[in-house]
């Protein structure tokens, strides 16, 4: 056997152990070794049954995604078919997370026993793929097409107890008894005669599903949302239909051709990029296990407004006590009231008990005295975005906070170096930029000042994980990564309005691309009073002057009905007209959807290239992650930098030139050399 799979024989039972850390992914070496193990089981007369198990934390968590899109032989499905075809019983002993190809391997075994707490799932759809190792063919025969489709379309794993109920596994045992139970099963099975159960054979389910003409419409109705914009779900339906209607071999052919189609698609390229990029952000050159971390056992937050309150909730949720500081009693009371209301709403939905609400509230102590922050390990300032106020806060904080405490600002664009210079300990200062609502949004920008120490940065990155967010390291500049990146997008949308393209067309084009809403509707949602476009001609200031602040007050660009559906507001159209006249801007014929798309996205890519060349972001993938998690950029488009690579950098450069925009040097260089960002 090779290095990734070992086979030992004990009392006629071959114990096949997969060892390929960290997640026992089924890369080429593992497949070759499993293939050889199957040959040995077939040919070795001393072997009468087999167990397939894995070392480490988990049964295989899938194919080795790093191999995609080229999967070197032997193919997963062929190896698994060989295992299923054995005339000796094979038991899968499952622990951890049997995902994707890992679960498909278990499906090819004749019996399955799982440890309590194990999870099983087919998450390929999240990579723009489908279970391509006969999973779309075996699972419906085992648990019925409807349940199988639920797993494949959502990609969400189910726990072992549910798997037992569904008939996906045969036995469930405490984790400590898994190997013994598998051995016991194999011993009993090898003494039995008769055919082995094979999930490739038609079952009671196949017959039932064939007699259920509404089945696929029902599934599509139930999961309609999951089909929006993406191509994998329809391909999964096609394969499962084949599983119901065709013999296994024919269905397997359909699966192979659909899998190949998806594997070469732009969507799967984008989603696989995102999978790795999400994990890569945590890696900061020069910072590793040896970098000492600062223990954060208590936190102070200055400012109980929307941001401060949301940040306080993040820490309370993570079990870290918070002191929340405000200047006025009224503001403090209001802030605590909003937090309580948020928790109570969660409780109403059944996701918290009343006792949990009280205990969360008890972990947030309000105070009007900044001196109370003298003993906390970390202070996050979340006051109004004015450098003057921040200067005062940090000067005072420096005299209050204990030695060794980290001082952070939640500013979304101000200069962290300037803020750090207000203190006698700039090495302890960094930016921790949360996105609104802070208790919900999954992104945390960790902003490194010129003097921030490695320990402080390492602690900031670790904190992101503690708060269940994805931390991304950013350098100091206006808007850091996410806001700086999207600024040109917002500005370009305003210019399009001024040149005469209707707001609903602009928004529709971006929804078509995959955003939940377009830029104009987004401005209305964020609030027109919170957004500033210094030096740019926009309508937001005029709308605010007219007391239109967006969805929260009187509508903005749109008027909103009680169901929050927007129609272009006559008042906003008048303001657009007025601004246009004041600046002597001439209208042009309205842009088509593809022109809107490139007109809005090319400037984003260009800004991304600048962010990268200035070293504000460590990698193009980090920029993509901030766009996806901070601005809901559709992940199946890969984020702006991956999208740019797929779209074609030379097209973007010439498009920018036509728009009279200077391409960033890095973009121009990559386009000229045929390079890519991701």
Q: Which residues are catalytic?
A: 104, 124
- The least distance separating ligand CAA from the CB of residue 175, rounded to whole angstroms, comes to 16
d(CA 133, CA 31): 12
Q: Cβ distance 177 to 112 under 8 Å?
A: no
For CA atoms 385, 387, 392, 396, give the dihedral sign: positive
- The least distance separating ligand CAA from the CB of residue 646, rounded to whole angstroms, comes to 20
Output 79 or 463, the one with its CB closest to ligand CAA. 79
- Other C-beta atoms within 10 Å of 142: how many? 21
Q: Cβ distance 566 to 521 under 8 Å?
A: yes
Output 509 or 625, the one with its CB closest to ligand CAA. 625
Q: Cβ distance 134 to 80 under 8 Å?
A: yes
Output 30 or 322, the one with its CB closest to ligand CAA. 30
d(CA 523, CA 532): 11
- Other C-beta atoms within 10 Å of 574: how many? 12
Q: Which of 89, 128, 132, 639 binds ligand CAA (CB under 6 A)?
A: 132
Output 279 or 402, the one with its CB closest to ligand CAA. 279
- The least distance separating ligand CAA from the CB of residue 75, rounded to whole angstroms, comes to 8
What angle do the packed helices 649-658 and 665-673 form, to 10 degrees? Answer: 130
- The least distance separating ligand CAA from the CB of residue 40, rounded to whole angstroms, comes to 23
> Is 63 one of the binding residues for ligand CAA (CB under 6 A)?
yes
- The least distance separating ligand CAA from the CB of residue 489, rounded to whole angstroms, comes to 30
- The least distance separating ligand CAA from the CB of residue 77, rounded to whole angstroms, comes to 8
- The least distance separating ligand CAA from the CB of residue 452, rounded to whole angstroms, comes to 24
- The least distance separating ligand CAA from the CB of residue 98, rounded to whole angstroms, comes to 10
> Is 124 one of the binding residues for ligand CAA (CB under 6 A)?
yes
d(CA 218, CA 149): 11
Q: Phi and psi dihedrals of 196, rounded to 5?
A: -90, 145
**Between the CA of residue 388 and those of 10, 157, 383, 516, what are the distances in Å?**
75, 50, 11, 36
Q: How many residues does the chain have?
A: 678
> Is 23 one of the binding residues for ligand CAA (CB under 6 A)?
yes
Q: Which of residues 324-363 bind ligand CAA (CB under 6 A)?
A: none
Q: Which stretch binds ligand CAA (CB under 6 A): 45-53, 64-72, 224-232, 245-253?
A: 64-72
Q: Which of 66, 85, 329, 582 binds ligand CAA (CB under 6 A)?
A: 66
- The least distance separating ligand CAA from the CB of residue 503, rounded to whole angstroms, comes to 39
Which residues make Cβ contacts (< 8 Å) with residue 245, sequence separation at least 6? 210
Q: Of 267, 232, 275, whose CA–CA distance to 643 is shortest?
A: 267
Strands 443-447 and 429-434: antiparallel
> Is 465 one of the binding residues for ligand CAA (CB under 6 A)?
no
Q: Which stretch binds ligand CAA (CB under 6 A): 58-66, 463-471, 498-506, 523-531?
A: 58-66
Q: Cβ distance 641 to 604 under 8 Å?
A: no
Output 99 or 120, the one with its CB closest to ligand CAA. 99
Q: Which of 22, 285, 350, 615 binds ligand CAA (CB under 6 A)?
A: 22
Q: Which of 89, 123, 303, 527 binds ligand CAA (CB under 6 A)?
A: 123
Output 25 or 90, the one with its CB closest to ligand CAA. 25
Q: What is the 3-state secondary structure (H, E, C) of 123-146?
A: HHHHHCCCCCCCHHHHHHHHHCHH
- The least distance separating ligand CAA from the CB of residue 124, rounded to whole angstroms, comes to 5
Q: Which stretch binds ligand CAA (CB under 6 A): 129-137, 178-186, 404-412, 649-657?
A: 129-137
Query: What mask of x and - would describe binding to ligand CAA in positions 234 to 273, judged by CB under 6 A?
Result: ----------------------------------------
Q: How many residues bind ligand CAA (CB under 6 A)?
A: 24
Question: In a 3-state reduction of DSSP, which class is residue 20?
Answer: coil
For CA atoms 598, 599, 601, 603, give the dihedral sign: positive
> Is 405 one of the binding residues for ligand CAA (CB under 6 A)?
no
> Is 310 one of the binding residues for ligand CAA (CB under 6 A)?
no
Output 104 or 622, the one with its CB closest to ligand CAA. 104
Q: Cβ distance 162 to 172 under 8 Å?
A: no
Q: What's the half-sphere exposure (Cβ side, CA atoms, 13 Å) at 553?
A: 11
d(CA 126, CA 232): 9
**Sequence-distant contacts of 324-329: CB under 8 A, at least 24 apart:** 324/300, 324/364, 324/365, 324/366, 324/367, 325/300, 325/301, 325/367, 325/368, 325/369, 325/370, 325/372, 325/373, 326/366, 326/367, 326/368, 327/368, 328/368, 329/368
Which residues make Cβ contacts (< 8 Å) with residue 527, sequence separation at least 6? 549, 550, 551, 552
DSSP states of 541-584: HHHHHTT--BTTBBBSSEEE-TT--EEE-HHHHHHHHHHHHHTT
Q: Which of residues 81-100 bind ligand CAA (CB under 6 A)?
A: 97, 99-100
Q: Which of 279, 564, 578, 658 binds ligand CAA (CB under 6 A)?
A: 279
Q: Which of 33, 35, 81, 104 binds ligand CAA (CB under 6 A)?
A: 104
Q: Of 547, 512, 511, whose CA–CA distance to 528 is shortest?
A: 547
> Is 25 one of the binding residues for ligand CAA (CB under 6 A)?
yes
Output 121 or 603, the one with its CB closest to ligand CAA. 121
Output 258 or 415, the one with its CB closest to ligand CAA. 258
Taking only Cα atoms into account, the Rg of the chain, rounded to an integer number of angstroms, comes to 29
Output 218 or 279, the one with its CB closest to ligand CAA. 279
Output 80 or 434, the one with its CB closest to ligand CAA. 80
- The least distance separating ligand CAA from the CB of residue 29, rounded to whole angstroms, comes to 13
> Is 153 one of the binding residues for ligand CAA (CB under 6 A)?
no
Q: Which of residues 133-152 bind ligand CAA (CB under 6 A)?
A: 133, 135
d(CA 313, CA 326): 16
Q: Which stretch binds ligand CAA (CB under 6 A): 124-132, 234-242, 291-299, 386-394?
A: 124-132
Q: Which stretch binds ligand CAA (CB under 6 A): 125-133, 330-338, 422-430, 625-633?
A: 125-133
Q: Cβ distance 455 to 293 under 8 Å?
A: yes
- The least distance separating ligand CAA from the CB of residue 516, rounded to whole angstroms, comes to 24
> Is 520 one of the binding residues for ligand CAA (CB under 6 A)?
no
Output 104 or 179, the one with its CB closest to ligand CAA. 104
Strands 13-18 and 90-94: unpaired
**Between the CA of residue 104 and those of 197, 273, 525, what are the distances in Å?**
15, 23, 44
Q: Which of 31, 48, 53, 76 binds ligand CAA (CB under 6 A)?
A: 76
Q: Which stretch binds ligand CAA (CB under 6 A): 18-26, 396-404, 582-590, 657-665?
A: 18-26
List contacts with ligand CAA (CB under 6 A): 22-23, 25, 61-66, 76, 97, 99-101, 104, 123-124, 127, 129, 131-133, 135, 279
């Amino acid at each position: 056997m090779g290095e990734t799979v070992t086979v030992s024989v004990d009392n006629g039972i071959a114990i096949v152990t997969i060892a390929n850390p960290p997640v026992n992914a089924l890369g080429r070496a593992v497949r070759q070794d499993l293939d050889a193990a199957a040959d040995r089981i077939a040919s070795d007369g001393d072997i009468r049954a087999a167990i397939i198990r894995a070392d480490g934390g988990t049964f295989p968590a899938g194919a080795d995604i790093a191999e995609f899109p080229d999967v070197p032989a032997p193919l997963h499905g062929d190896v698994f078919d060989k295992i299923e075809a054995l005339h000796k019983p094979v038991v899968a002993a499952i622990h951890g997370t049997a995902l994707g190809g890992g679960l498909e391997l278990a499906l090819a075994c004749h019996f399955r026993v799982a440890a309590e707490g194990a999870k099983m799932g087919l998450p390929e759809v999240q990579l723009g793929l489908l279970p391509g190792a006969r999973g779309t063919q075996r699972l419906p025969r085992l648990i019925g097409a409807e349940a199988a489709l639920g797993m494949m379309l959502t990609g969400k794993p189910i726990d072992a107890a549910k798997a037992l109920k569904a008939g996906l596994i045969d036995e469930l045992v405490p984790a400590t008894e898994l190997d013994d139970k598998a051995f016991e099963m194999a011993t009993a099975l090898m003494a039995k005669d008769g055919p082995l159960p094979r999930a490739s054979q038609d079952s009671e389910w196949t017959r039932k599903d064939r007699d259920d003409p509404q089945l696929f419409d029902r599934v599509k109705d139930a999961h309609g949302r999951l089909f929006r914009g993406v191509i994998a779900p329809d391909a999964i339906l096609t394969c499962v239909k084949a599983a119901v209607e065709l013999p296994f071999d024919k269905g397997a052919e359909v699966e192979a051709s659909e899998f190949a189609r998806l594997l070469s698609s732009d969507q799967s390229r984008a989603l696989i990029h995102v999978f790795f990029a999400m994990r890569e952000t945590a890696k900061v050159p020069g910072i590793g296990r040896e970098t000492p971390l600062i223990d954060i056992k208590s936190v102070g937050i200055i400012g109980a407004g929307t941001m401060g309150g949301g940040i306080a909730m993040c820490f309370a949720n993570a079990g870290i006590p918070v002191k929340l500081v405000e200047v006025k009693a009224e503001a403090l009371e209001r802030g605590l009231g909003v937090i309580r209301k948020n928790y109570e709403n969660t409780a109403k939905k059944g996701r918290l008990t009343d006792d949990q609400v009280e205990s969360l509230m008890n972990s947030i102590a309000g105070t009007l005295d900044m001196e109370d922050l003298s003993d906390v390990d970390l202070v996050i300032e979340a006051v109004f975005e004015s450098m003057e106020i921040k200067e005062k806060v940090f000067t005072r904080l420096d005299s209050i906070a204990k030695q060794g405490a980290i001082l952070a600002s939640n500013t979304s664009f101000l200069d962290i170096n300037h803020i750090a210079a207000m203190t006698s300990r700039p090495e302890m200062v960094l930016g921790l930029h949360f996105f609104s609502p802070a208790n919900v949004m999954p992104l945390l920008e960790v902003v490194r000042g010129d003097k921030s120490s490695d320990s402080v940065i390492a602690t900031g990155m670790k904190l992101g994980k503690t708060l269940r967010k994805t931390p991304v390291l950013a350098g100091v500049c206006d808007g850091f990564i996410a806001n700086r990146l999207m600024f040109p997008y917002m500005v370009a949308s305003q210019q399009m309005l001024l040149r005469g393209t209707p707001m609903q067309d602009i928004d529709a084009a971006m929804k078509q691309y995959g955003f939940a809403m377009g830029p104009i509707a987004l401005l209305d949602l964020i609030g027109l009073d919170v957004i500033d476009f210094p030096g740019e001609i926009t309508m937001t200031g005029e709308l605010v002057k007219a007391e239109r602040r967006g969805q929260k007050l009187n509508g903005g660009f749109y008027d909103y009905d009680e169901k929050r559906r927007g129609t272009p507001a006559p008042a906003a159209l008048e303001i657009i007209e007025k601004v246009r006249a004041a600046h002597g801007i001439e209208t042009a014929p309205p842009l088509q959807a593809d022109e809107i798309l490139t007109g809005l996205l090319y400037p984003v890519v260009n800004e991304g290239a600048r962010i990268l060349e200035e070293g504000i972001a460590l990698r193009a993938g980090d920029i993509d992650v901030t766009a996806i998690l901070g601005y809901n950029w559709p992940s199946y488009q890969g984020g702006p930098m991956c999208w740019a690579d797929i779209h074609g950098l030379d097209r973007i450069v010439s498009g920018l030139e036509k728009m009279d925009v200077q391409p960033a040097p890095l973009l121009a260089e990559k386009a000229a050399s045929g390079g890519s960002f991701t």
